Structure 1
């Protein structure tokens, strides 16, 4: 790592075994070390060491349960592009803190290449739920100047990088 490169942007070389371990854990994070080791042709101890190294390097950042939003009663996925009235660190920090507190928001990114500043993805039960979210919470965040809504028709796929 060089002085000019932030720690969050450093890359760590991965061999084919590391990549196979990551792919398998992304498919089933509950896979036992023994089963994982068998699948990558290692014994359990070296496999566990590799996983620990990937965790320590910040490549594996956690283990999560994937859920089916539709079966949980949140079938409507919406992308909302948001423009802020001022571009100050304080305004952005305030917005990010507030929007992170909304359970409906499943992702939030600062974006470039468009007139909006943020792109968030939300999950709601129905249009009435979306209307309540938009009018009574999102639009009431200080600094939100404009919102542009796009409804997801169907997610084609979603995956992690490996």
Structure 2
């Protein structure tokens, strides 16, 4: 990946709907080589897809909750089973296997406290193998980036 590829990625992260013609003009490359580079970046999985960023509060999910999960076992089978379970929970926006005393860190969205409580009781706490959980509610996002610093 060279400097031109990095410029393509930077521009696309700002506006993934940009046409190849506009992208080529913005980065100073003709359309055909730009299209080839973009196709290669997509084929290599560097450009993993395109989507719209949706404001979670405006769709009725203003609450973000970070949940630390400690599992009974840290075996591969236990972690895989937990991962399979939470992949089916649409409220789980992120789920990370972590180092340290807690095993998992998740970010969950909810409409309100009652909605979050329902998620805990009906979904998360029914997953086998959880030893304990700790939840923290985000008051506000101080930094929230969508653009990776690839330049």
TM over 0.5, yes or no? yes
Q: Which residues of structure 1 form unaligned runs of 5+?
A: 1-13
1:28 aligns with 15
1:23 and 1:57 map into 2 onto residues whose CA distance is: 17
TM-score by length of 2: 0.94
- Tell me, yes or no, if the aligned pair for 2:14 and 2:147 is still in contact at 8 Å: no
Selected match of 2:108 from 106, 119, 122 = 122
Q: Deviations over 1:106-125 (max 9, x none)?
A: 0111001x311010101100
Selected match of 1:76 from 44, 52, 63 = 63
1:6 aligns with none
Selected match of 1:93 from 68, 80, 87 = 80
1:52 and 1:64 map into 2 onto residues whose CA distance is: 17
Shift, 1:92, TM fit = 1.1
1:159 and 1:81 map into 2 onto residues whose CA distance is: 23
2:30 aligns with 43
1:131 and 1:60 map into 2 onto residues whose CA distance is: 36
Shift, 1:15, TM fit = 2.0
Residues paired across the two proteins, number: 148
More relative contact order, 1 or 2 (CA 8 Å, 6+ apart): 2
2:130 and 2:115 map into 1 onto residues whose CA distance is: 20
* Residue 3 of structure 2 is aligned to residue 16 of structure 1: yes
The two structures, once aligned, show a CA RMSD in angstroms of 1.1
Q: Deviations over 1:92-116 (max 9, x none)?
A: 111101101011000111001x311
Q: Which residues of structure 2 form unaligned runs of 5+?
A: none
